[in-house]
Amino acid sequence: MTTTDKAALCKVGARMAELRIERNMTQQQLAEAMGVKLEWVQRLETGELNFMVSSLGKLARAFHMRIADMFPPDF
């Protein structure tokens, strides 16, 4: 994984943590809403997880929003 890839994963993870916190959700609650293990959410939020794009759909559903709305235009 390149440094650029790692930076992008960290940025996405930080945004997912921000959305989770805005919704007053714990990592465990997000994991349950997505049907994944707590460790998956923890690794996502720290940028350690190189996840599949299909996971964005699960995240969007858990946050009750569209994928496009998960990221600001300048993201």
Block means of pLDDT (10 residues each) for the chain, 75 residues, are 86 94 98 96 93 87 93 83
Count of domains observed in the chain? 1
pLDDT of residue 27: 98
Residue 52 is part of which domain span?
Answer: 3-63
Residue 68 lies in a domain: no
pLDDT of residue 25: 98
pLDDT of residue 2: 85
pLDDT of residue 74: 80
pLDDT of residue 49: 86
Mutual angle of helices 27-34 and 38-45, in 10-degree steps: 110
Q: What is the CATH number of the domain that holds 59?
A: 1.10.260.40
pLDDT of residue 46: 95
3-state secondary structure of 5: helix
Residue corresponding to tokens 């009750």: 64
